[in-house]
Structure 1
């Protein structure tokens, strides 16, 4: 049989440079989050969402002018699916209910048009519901990070646990920071993508750490950096196949999935790139900086007996 030769790249020799680059990126993201914040969607702010359809392709500038003439100045207008379909996101404007509001919007849109505009869908989110969603979303992210810390600490060793959590937070901040810099709508779909990114990043990190633990027990020679680099090289094919497959899928979703999936797929694209990078240069580098050694991962005599091997 033809032997497959594994790559022997020295990834961790660049860990200091990678950490400095990550620190700069994280600083920019945190600055943007502190100054500009997230452009929260209706799920978090409250308001009304209307999906309307024209009989012919419509110019969004004309739609905005019609709404402005009707007294609606802060409406987000975007294409939805086909050139004839438009999605309107209207922040809370007064005490009127969603039925009255949608009627006023339709009157403003129909005024300059000879053919009637069709109202396909109306969704209303109250400000109190939006506030509760913000709180629950923050708790979901917090509890997921705590769960990661406990899980990795029990399965591996506390230095690896800290490395996994640092890498996970790194990926989440970068994803949120890009949305803040570009002022893209942040809604429940994007939040779901951020939580997916956290799970994806953790899974990739666990696979690498499991191989590191195995090599620490199997390979009796070599420094910590040698074992780390060997483990990264051995898992690289799996990482490329997994990340590449997911990347192609989410790029297809971004290009062809329509406006409703645009934010979700963009968050996953950022997360796949950042998660693959952070597994090597953040999680592993953090464990090395904290002083992980072979003795930390060697099996105790009881573990050896449980395996049935001396």
Structure 2
């Protein structure tokens, strides 16, 4: 039985020729993301900016999102966020943070007075400024420590040029993922932290697969041009890359379409992240090795330190 192949086994496609286009493109997008981050910022959710969250269930089974939004905004507490959860009459309402406990109590009193007749209050959460500040600090620290741990792993996992290439690719993927949050205005909350860490892991997986093959070919071929060797590395792993990316993207697309509002933001970011990581492993992490001055002799010294037998010249 012939196995399914989404990429030819004996492909010799020249990926490296696109580096003169992809490098400026990625650099421009990264710079634009930083500028947007400094000017627009992220759309922080209740986890990070505080406030009151209320989940309502329509007693009739049909929720009127527009009417609830209009009513909530008329309370005078600022602009509220209202979104439908699935198609069963569930609504999620987020009220902005109010000063003091009396402010939060006033929010709930007006919400009950306005919605008790037609909706059942299924869940209520209030996050104060102290708690939200702690969540911001903990989330930022978690991301930073995780990224540092990944960088340390890459540094000891590969030779210097390969490690630097993998680090550049990982940073690129993180920046572009943050750009997705900024452009789409998807709410940035604790689930978003999980999405970023998952994308870092996916990026690491894609890069390690290609770079492992690169190091293997470096030990096998001693005089092949670096550009040709990198093309060979990508082509030889492309079938696996395409299969993994497509299967993951299909699963995430199903979550985007049928998973409901509660996880749609997470699924959208993850779907974009898969595309970014696949693009990065092929057109950013690998081509950057050319500019880092990858030397084919470097693999032999590293392999010797690891006790790997050297092939004969």
Q: Same fold (TM over 0.5)?
A: yes
| 1:142-157 map, 5 Å | 142-157=144-159
- Deviates most, 116-125 or 53-62: 53-62
- Deviates most, 89-98 or 297-306: 297-306
Q: TM-score, normalised by structure 2?
A: 0.91
Task: Verify the 8 A CA contact 2:222 2:296 in the aligned structure 1.
Answer: no
Q: What displacement does 1:72 show?
A: 3.8
Q: What displacement does 1:303 show?
A: 4.9
How many Å separate the matches in 2 of 1:305 and 1:49?
A: 58
What is the number of equivalent residue pairs in this alignment? 306
Q: 1:127 and 1:234, CA in 2 relative to 1: closer, same or farther beyond 3 A?
A: same
Q: 1:152 and 1:125, CA in 2 relative to 1: closer, same or farther beyond 3 A?
A: same
Q: 1:304 and 1:25, CA in 2 relative to 1: closer, same or farther beyond 3 A?
A: closer
Task: Verify the 8 A CA contact 2:304 2:310 in the aligned structure 1.
Answer: no
2:249 to 247, 250, 270: 247
What CA deviation, in whole Å up to 9, does each residue of 1:15-42 have, x standing for no partner?
1210011112112211211110000001
Q: 1:29 and 1:200, CA in 2 relative to 1: closer, same or farther beyond 3 A?
A: same
Structure 1 gaps of 5+ residues are none
Aligned to 1:13: 17
Structure 2 gaps of 5+ residues are none
Aligned to 2:65: 60
How many Å separate the matches in 2 of 1:34 and 1:228?
A: 36
How many Å separate the matches in 2 of 1:175 and 1:43?
A: 19
How many Å separate the matches in 2 of 1:80 and 1:168?
A: 33
How many Å separate the matches in 2 of 1:2 and 1:187?
A: 46
Aligned CA RMSD, in angstroms, stands at: 2.3
| 1:1-310 map, 5 Å | 5-54=9-58, 55-82=60-87, 84-96=89-101, 101-110=107-116, 115-299=117-301, 302-303=304-305, 307=309
Runs of 4+ aligned structure 1 residues displaced above 6 Å come to 1-4
How many Å separate the matches in 2 of 1:48 and 1:275?
A: 35
How many Å separate the matches in 2 of 1:280 and 1:69?
A: 51
Q: What displacement does 1:148 show?
A: 2.1
